[in-house]
Structure 1
Amino acid sequence: MPAPNPYGPAVTSILVIEDDEAIGRHLHTGLRGNGYAATWSRTGVNGLAEAAHHRHDAVLLDLGLPDTDGMDVARRLRADHPDLLIVILTARSDEIDVIAGLDAGADDYLVKPFSLSVLLARLRAHLRRRPADAHTARQPIQLGDLTVDPSSRRCLAAGTEVVLRPKEFELLAALAQQPGIAVSREELMAQVWDANWFGPTKTLDVTMAALRRRLEAAEATLDQPRLPHIDTLRGHGYRLEPPPS
């Protein structure tokens, strides 16, 4: 288990894993100047070791590390720290790279170059929601063979767990709370990310696509699947359609 946050439980601790001297120093100084407890690691190996020995609330992870693939670091961080907020920092803007980063376990991404103010807005948006989500106990939602349990943050398909990234689960839970009801993109962004979200809604599309793939993969393993399906409502949002009774 990681050691407690040495700065105290009330201080948000951010781990920066970035090998570029100028960017790393800018992030480290900027985060500290805005009230965060920031730690800076210049390699993937050192970053993983730091995360293993001290508790952090979030990690800012560069993909272009000198010693290891940033995607591998993201996978290790997610496997070892399921509740950790992981934001990828990358110069790769192609959608395939964004999807790969999110599939590796990241919650969000920022394409370089980006401003410190945008990064801080993203962090605030994510971190404001996490404490409330972690302590909100609600009854499991049953839709056919799919069980969505917000209190334990588990998704089951006919009793078999479907492993979802944090934002994928929150997106599914938001839809499952209103089965058969059209939910707008704006409402989903407000529920899953933040009411004052600052940035493109492409994050919603990428997360939704990944959620669909995981549900389809789970459905393919069942003999007589009775899982809900996510319908796209063009110009509006999405609807979780319950399976026939």
Structure 2
Amino acid sequence: MTGVPGRAVRVLVVDDEPPLAELLSMALRMEGWEIRTAGDGTTAVRVAREFRPDAVVLDVMLPDFSGLEVIRRLRTEFEHLPVLFLTAKDAVEDRIAGLTAGGDDYVTKPFSLEEVALRLRALLRRARVVTAASDSLLTVGDLTMDEDTREVHRAGQPITLTATEFELLRYLMRNPKRVLSKAQILDRVWSYDFGGQANIVELYISYLRKKIDADRAPMIHTMRGAGYVLKPAS
């Protein structure tokens, strides 16, 4: 998915809670987007001017000045920049203030990472950064995945996956014919190192095989000593 031809969609995440900013960044990188972060309003404005984002995820409460002021400053240079506000406040007046300041959507903490990604994708489409309806569809051979609806089919037959199985398959499908090591899969799907428990990858690969390859020509292959690869069935 690209914003400007030849490059990935760029998203600026602005939040003064580093753990939350990092979780958001990891979730949005799973969308294939390029992410930058800022922890205060001053840094957000500076990074935006340098990074030229296609969209901003913006916390309302920041340590120096509010997210409302950030967007007022950015609007002078980025007139149509999509903005998704994050806030711990859920009062109607706060929602109105955010939207009046130029925000395009509003999510109240606590929120799900999946919801943020879906809302942001919708804003990008609305802003024509992402225009094709098929951008959410991944296809490898006769295997398809709709990232928006989270529906998976092989040869037209629906396949039900758990959340972790879905993320693992999504990573494989975004990298077809590419050998992915256990370390790469752990880092991208589980987001941290399991140390000696790297066999979690083997376990979930086996789960996927039972659902994706059962009674069909195999698509998921083990490359001994290297990792795993997903490719169209021969």
Q: 2 CA distance for matches of 1:86 and 1:78?
A: 10
Distance 1:91 1:131, change over 3 A: same
Please, which of 21, 24, 34 is the counterpart of residue 31 of structure 2?
A: 34
Are positions 1:51 and 2:60 aligned together?
A: no
Deviations 1:202-235 (A, max 9, x none): xxxxxxxxxxxxxxxxxxxxxxxxxxxxxxxxxx
Deviation of 1:87 (Å): 0.8
Aligned length: 131
Give the corresponding residue for 2:156: none
Structure 2 matches for 1:57-76, cutoff 5 A?
57-76=54-73
Larger radius of gyration: 2
Q: Is the 8 A contact 2:58 2:86 kept in 1?
A: yes
- Cα distance in 1 for partners of 2:87, 2:18 equals 15
Measured at CA, do residues 102 and 36 of structure 1 come closer, stay the same or move farther in structure 2, by a change above 3 Å? same
Gaps (5+ residues) in structure 2? 132-147, 150-234
Distance 1:109 1:42 in 2: 19
Q: Look up the match of 2:183.
A: none
How much does 1:34 deviate? 2.2
Show the counterpart of 1:169: none
> What stretches of structure 1 move > 6 A for 4+ residues in a row?
none
Shift of 1:93: 0.6
Alignment of 1:100-111 (within 5 A): 100-111=97-108
TM-score, L = length of structure 1:
0.49
CA distance in 1, matches of 2:76, 2:129: 22
Matched, 1:11 2:14: no
- Any idea what the Cα deviations from partners look like across 1:35-76, whole Å, max 9, x if unmatched? 110101111101100111221100000011111122111211
Matches within 5 A, 1:66-145: 66-131=63-128
Percent of aligned pairs with the same residue?
38
